[in-house]
Amino acid sequence: MSQNPPADRPPYGRVWNFSAGPSTLPVSVLEEVQRDLINYKDNGLSVMEMSHRSKAYSEIITNAEGTLRRVLSVPDNYSILFMQGGGTGEFAATYLNLFASKSVREKQSKLGRQLRCDYLVTGTWSKGGLKEVTRLGAIPNVVFNGIESSDKDHGSAIAYTSLPPVPEWNLGKPEETAYVYYCENETIHGLETPSSLVLDAVDPSVPVICDMSSSMLSHPVDVSRFGAIIAGAQKNMGPAGVTIVIVRKDLLERDESDKDAIQRLPSVLDWCYFDKAGSMPNTPPTFAIYVCGLVFKWVETQGGVSALERLRKARADLVYNAIDAHPDFFSGPVDKRYRSAMNLVFNLPTPELEAEFIARAAKRNMIQLK
């Protein structure tokens, strides 16, 4: 098959895949996977068949962690974990692990009652995180839930198209708050919350937990300002099946005499358990971690996350400039200050025109636009 495709088609007869996740992977990464699929580096077997306890796989996972640490400049006082369960699993894991943490439990004991959890609700995924911890027994404090929007037919309603001004945020008192949670990029609503906005607003004594599933590796991150970063790999780093957790090590400390701390924390969600076992207390998603490691190396060859940030801005500007130049045809509902550079949301004047747009895009080998 020719590797010199028409201008509107990628190599190997592939399509332009706009899926939020599982999302497209670099062709060079797929080519390396293909070359080594049957016999990985002359080991005589595929990574999919390889024991996670073998020397060859130990090198794979160690290199993957080391490369990600370099790419994101992760400080030494942070652990990088390869887990399972996706971002949804980490909705529960975040709450259960923080409330098992020695520092959080000591803070709660000093207060004399259960600490609250601050949630910034900016769309579907942060709303899902709030729902999950509420189900588990958390006492959530909703810092804000979208913005109020007026609709001529239905009156006021909640819209996830902007962020309220910081002075209007209902942040909890630091001494009463276990952590603050937010999702940096809401794929469905196309709203991206600048991390600096959150980090500057929150008291430094309160750990900030960020879901970066769909924005990880797209821009530089000052990891040292976070308590933990969680990210399902399938949206921006590799295949589905592995979840990255970057967590400050002091939050992994436990009081061994406090038996109630982990009573409701399943081992499969236990950050401390995975940290002590090098992310391999049981069989990890070996192949997914391997591919992620190749993507991390690919990021380095592209010039790192700063280079990818410039690329994502250039691509987003191409689309947003077209939307802004034709307001009678394209409608972009998200506040320009917060519209996503990862998932660009827009509408056309009628459902019929949108259907035609999707059909014409498909003819140009563009899929998953809706």
- Residue 287 CA to residue 30 CA, distance in Å, equals 13
**Which one of 107, 127, 235, 297 is the catalytic residue?**
235
Residues 6 or more apart in contact with residue 341 via CB below 8 angstroms = 192, 218, 312, 313, 315, 316
**Which one of 107, 118, 127, 211 is the catalytic residue?**
211
Helices vs. strands in the chain: H and E counts, helices first: 10, 13
298 annotated active-site: no
Residues 6 or more apart in contact with residue 188 via CB below 8 angstroms = 20, 123, 124, 125, 343
Distance set, CA 69 to CA 65, 72, 74, 231, 304 (Å): 6, 6, 5, 14, 12
259 annotated active-site: no
Distance set, CA 31 to CA 54, 105, 213 (Å): 24, 48, 24
235 annotated active-site: yes
Distance set, CA 262 to CA 105, 132, 210, 265, 340 (Å): 11, 18, 22, 5, 37
In the structure encoding, which two tokens stand for residue 292, read together?
Answer: 């992620």
- Residue 52 CA to residue 282 CA, distance in Å, equals 9
What is the residue whose two structure tokens read 């080998």? Answer: 365
| Number of residues that this document lists for the chain | 370
**Which one of 107, 125, 127, 298 is the catalytic residue?**
125
| Structural contact between residues 236 and 72, judged by C-beta atoms closer than 8 angstroms | no
In the structure encoding, which two tokens stand for residue 51, read together?
Answer: 């024991």
- Residue 75 CA to residue 216 CA, distance in Å, equals 16
In the chain, alpha helices (H):
27-36, 55-71, 86-98, 102-111, 124-135, 195-201, 271-276, 286-301, 304-325, 351-363
As annotated, the active-site residues are: 125, 211, 235
